[in-house]
Structure 1
């Protein structure tokens, strides 16, 4: 456990957990990671093509509207099986990447390039992570 002093004398604690999902949970996690990666890449393509073809900026709100459309079509109806919160978070990460790029706020020693697509398993680590997550703990053995 790490301790960190926050604002006005408050203390923040960090806990590390290791999860061992069962096969059903593991399959759901892989589907969620894949869907998040797909949504991120589609959002990136939407932004890039809108700028290339029409010189129009697409923001987070428009990307979320596109996500609603993707979830309602027959070809990409499989997105309805995935939590919309995780998919929207992928679009938020894309929006933050664009904001940081255009403001010039990238991590130190980083190569400054526009946001790129996310890779799949075995092609690098493309799994989205959140610093805060809701975990369900059960007593089942």
Structure 2
């Protein structure tokens, strides 16, 4: 019995040391700047918008500036992000609404579920909820299909 306890503690100590080492390495590795931090850095005049001139400070951002300026007002701001998200949602809905009645039946919703392009395809289960209910959930049996927002 004592030997099993000693082995268990030894294994726990080795695993704990490995986790601590990995955490120390992660703490020393600089993380890439978050989107908000990147935007704030580019927004040199602090007006909440990135102009084409400000975008030149980041060649990768400048390369995508025209696409990111969704409302074509000559700058990139929160409104552009919201508009792009709405455009992606509308495109996903239009694709899922195969009979073009402005509503999604359970069958249409289920058929469209594998197409996660609206959510980047990486976050299974995030953003849209499953059959337990909530935003994005398919209608329950006997429930009318969701109307298009």
**TM-score, normalised via structure 2 length:** 0.30
Greater RCO (Cα-Cα under 8 Å, separation 6 or more): 1
**TM-score, normalised via structure 1 length:** 0.32
Task: Give the number of the structure whose alpha-carbon radius of gyration is greater.
Answer: 2
